Structure 1
Amino acid sequence: MLSKTSDAPGKTDYPPGTHVLLDFWGARGLDDAGFIEAAMRGAAEACGATVLETRLHQFGAGGGITGVALLAESHISIHTWPETDYAALDIFLCGACRAEDAIEPLKTSFMPSDATVTRVERGRRY
């Protein structure tokens, strides 16, 4: 068993967090691993999160990148499709860190022409 859950409605055995999903169209730097790592580290810093490790994989020269910043407070991940200038990112943080604080730094870094933001409250029973 990975985690214990409570039978009581509205209760969790761990602190809930906010999961922010970002869709960026017309974004820049989507085939540049160094740029992406710096953007993820900057977003984590803006949230007050602690980066434990970053891992990125590029799918061939000029190809898309999948990456994750493992945080003491959870993670920031990215999947890019440079051929369509699209990136899908997610930020999940718990504790005192606010995932919303990563949105503007990521927009500033990637400069998308269009973006959608979806917020999901995790760890709560309704």
Structure 2
Amino acid sequence: MAFHDALFQLGMDLDRGSSTAQTEEKHALVVTHTDGEDRKDYFCERNGVRFAGTHLLVDVLNGTRLDDIDHIEQTFRRCIEVSGATLLHIHLHHFTPNGGVSGVAVLSESHISIHSWPEYGYAALDLFMCGHAKPHLAIEVLREAFEPDEIIVKEILRGQEAATQMKLAA
């Protein structure tokens, strides 16, 4: 029971009739694969490589408004919209006294997260999305929102090993 109470406090109540469960059922996606295979695994394929999803590690250097929790939430919402992802929940926390923000937007396609150090103008963000979502489109939104001197983006195609093992098992 304590487990379910903790999930409820985080906005992640999992009972079938809950708003969370209804949202997740409402936004369930069926991915059509070009190879004619009927799969519901949400894996991606790009240039012949099959993988679970695109994970972008984003460093914002000398950015602004990294302590503005409302601005960060709106930025997350714009990132989700331009990426073609589906929002389930946003949870952000404001730290004092430095004003940093830590939080996550939980998506049907995975998540966007942030941890900011406004006193240094630095933020570390993760954008991890599977299926048809396009996380790269969110980079320009981040650039406009935080006006950094520089954004560093590293891409990891997650789950390539799992996709390879699935092919071998098939």
TM-score under structure 2 normalisation? 0.64
Aligned length: 114
Unaligned 5+ residue runs, structure 2?
Answer: 1-40, 44-51, 165-170
Q: CA deviation at 1:99?
A: 1.4
Contact 1:14 1:123 (C-alpha < 8 Å) held by counterparts: no
Give the match for residue 64 of structure 2.
28
Q: CA deviation at 1:98?
A: 1.3
Unaligned 5+ residue runs, structure 1?
Answer: 1-12
After superposition, the CA RMSD in angstroms is: 1.4
Q: CA deviation at 1:118?
A: 0.2
Q: CA deviation at 1:61?
A: 5.0
Give the match for residue 47 of structure 2.
none
Stretches (4+) displaced over 3 A = none
Q: CA deviation at 1:45?
A: 0.4
Between structure 1 and structure 2, the one with the greater Rg is: 2
More helix by share: 2
Contact 1:80 1:88 (C-alpha < 8 Å) held by counterparts: yes
Matched residue of 1:52: which SS?
strand
More strand by share: 1
Q: Give per-residue Cα distances to partners, 1:59-100, cap 9 Å, x unaligned.
A: 125511101111111000000001101000010000000111
Higher relative contact order (CA 8 A, sep 6+): 1
TM-score under structure 1 normalisation? 0.85
Matched AA of 1:55: H
Q: Give per-residue Cα distances to partners, 1:35-72, cap 9 Å, x unaligned.
A: 00000110010001111110000112551110111111
1:100 to 136, 140, 145: 136
- 1:63 corresponds to 2:95: no
- 1:48 corresponds to 2:84: yes
Identity %: 47
1:89 to 120, 125, 146: 125
Matched residue of 1:103: which SS?
helix
Contact 2:42 2:130 (C-alpha < 8 Å) held by counterparts: no
Matched residue of 2:160: which SS?
coil
